[in-house]
Amino acid sequence: MTTTATAPAIEVRGLEKSFQDLPVLRGVDLDVARGSIVALLGSNGAGKTTLVRILATLLRADAGTARVHGFDVATRAADVRGSFSLTGQFAAVDELLTGRENLLLVARLRHLPDPAAVADELLARFALTDAARRRASTYSGGMRRRLDLAMSLIGDPPVILLDEPTTGLDPVARLEVWRTIRELAGGGTTVLLTTQHLEEAEQLADRIAVLHQGVIIANGTLAQLKALLPPATVEYVEKQPSLEDVFLAIVGDPDPAARPTPTGR
Amino acid sequence: MPGHFLGDTVTLTMRSLRHVRRSPDTIITTAVMPIAFLLLFVYVFGGAIEEDTGTDSYVTYLLPGILLMTVASGVAYTAFRLFLDLKGGIFERFQSMPIARPSVLWAHVLTSMVANAVAVAVVVTVALVMGFRSGAGVLAWLAVAGILTLFTLALTWLAVVPGLTAKSPDGAIGFSYPLLFLPFLSSAFVPTDTMPGPVRAFAEHQPVTSIVDAIRALFAQQPVGNDLWTALAWCVGLLVVAYLLATACYRRIVV
């Protein structure tokens, strides 16, 4: 599909974007290697969503270049759209349609030969088969996000852009999303996700890029970023389970392997 | 990928028609207000008005204007549905996918045409029950359908503008209120002859009067004369302006 098999899946150079007089991106450089998970970390207003929207061909940059799957977002927008899927901050599902109809809709719009088979397979994979014929408006936040992710996977796009994929989710649903993201990357999909939760970046990402005031101020593996700090001092503290640990323990953690279990159970 | 335009438009139109089918209240509320006016004017004011209009069936006199009100209230839902798509993020999902992008708007336009046709059919049925009769032949009915289709298309593209730009649901549907008021300042309810000078001048030179007069003449099997051409000119003119405005708004939010 592309001639640049060894090039990064996402390549951003000197990207700038202002809204009126407010500069949001001020020269962003970022590479995302094929098959890796990169977390774009930043506080609210750091420009994460703006960067994702430019990559998703929903917004035009003022300066600089961005390539997705080897295609320039400005000049090859149609090819870019064929190469990625976006899951935005708010689960963009059609509330009046059932879960299955939502999947069928996207499969038809991606012009797949057998939309029904694709929909049923994804319903099973995302544990939505029982809810398949219910309207999405009746879904819980976690189910809605799962449906949203399932819709993004239709057509097996080589690149997935996730803008704050776990915002507004309870801890159980968040672990489910994390597991899905790991499976995706395990299958060779490139994932760029934005988050403001440090733990999310730590848990998922191969590399972490910190976007602050419109520029990437740090970029590396977790170990590399940790090395930026002065050497760790050793302190002995009593380990109390966090409220989150307690919550997950009493509601039943669906994926205990995803996180270290405290001893307080 | 312009090659997918037809297929994508069909897929997306089926989707939003399903929305209409799943919220039949949108069709009912579209038809309820025009039907209420039909009942009010025929059974409350009708007796008094019949003497002045010189018609023996006020419902027949009234129906063309009521049909235009039906369309004006129906397109408010077109703006509303579009607004919800933008607000809910599904519009961006579609825009980020490898589809023919204009299909997203055209699907809403086609859905509006179908939903309004159903609402108009409901109102005509009620009018028939109330005693509306026309000896119009197939050609005249086709001409009426043609005028109404053109009028609906023009108002639908007009509805796309607030649908794309509104910040709140009220903002999305607010544009339809003045449209609903226009028939009162026209020949839709009473002839314009008795109106005072400036009102009459406005009434006789606004689109509703010529469209209403043309449809009324077609129903009554009378020669339509210049009204038809004036009506068509208004509809086509409005359609062109509304389409240009809508596509300009669309280009502002889509790169």
Q: Which of B11, B92, B255 sits opposite A92 (nearest CB)?
A: B92
Segment A157-185, tens digit of pLDDT: 999 999 988 887 888 888 888 888 898 88
> With an 8 Å Cβ cutoff, is A258 touching chain B?
no
Residues of A in contact with B4 (CB under 8 A): 111
> With an 8 Å Cβ cutoff, is A253 touching chain B?
no
> Does pLDDT of B1 surpass 50?
no
Segment A3-47, tens digit of pLDDT: 445 688 999 999 999 988 889 999 999 999 998 999 998 888 888
| CA of A134 vs chain B CAs: smallest distance (Å) | 13
Tell me, what's the pLDDT at A5? 53
Long-range CB contacts for residues B206-210, cutoff 8 Å, separation at least 24: B206/B182, B207/B182, B207/B231, B207/B234, B207/B235, B207/B238, B208/B65, B208/B68, B208/B182, B208/B183, B210/B234
Question: Is residue A39 a contact partner of residue B236, using CB atoms and an 8 Å limit?
Answer: no
Region label for A242, one of left (φ > 0), alpha (ψ between -120 and 50) or beta (otherwise):
beta
> With an 8 Å Cβ cutoff, is A91 touching chain B?
yes
pTM: 0.85
Give the chain B residue whose CA is nearest to the CA of A151: B93
Give the chain A residue whose CA is nearest to the CA of B15: A105
Residues of A in contact with B250 (CB under 8 A): none
| CA of A138 vs chain B CAs: smallest distance (Å) | 14
> Does pLDDT of A260 surpass 60?
no
Give residues with Cβ within 8 angstroms of A99, minimum separation 6.
A93, A123, A128, A131, A132, A133, A134, A136, A139, A143, A147
Tell if the CB–CB gap between A58 and B255 is shorter than 8 Å: yes
Interface predicted TM-score (ipTM): 0.85
Residues of B in contact with A92 (CB under 8 A): 88-90, 92-93
Buried/exposed B183-208: b ≥16 CB within 10 Å, e otherwise: bebbbbbbbbeebeeeebeebeebbb
Segment B190-240, tens digit of pLDDT: 888 788 888 888 888 888 989 999 999 898 888 888 888 888 999 999 999
Segment A51-98, tens digit of pLDDT: 999 999 999 999 999 999 999 999 998 899 999 999 877 778 999 999
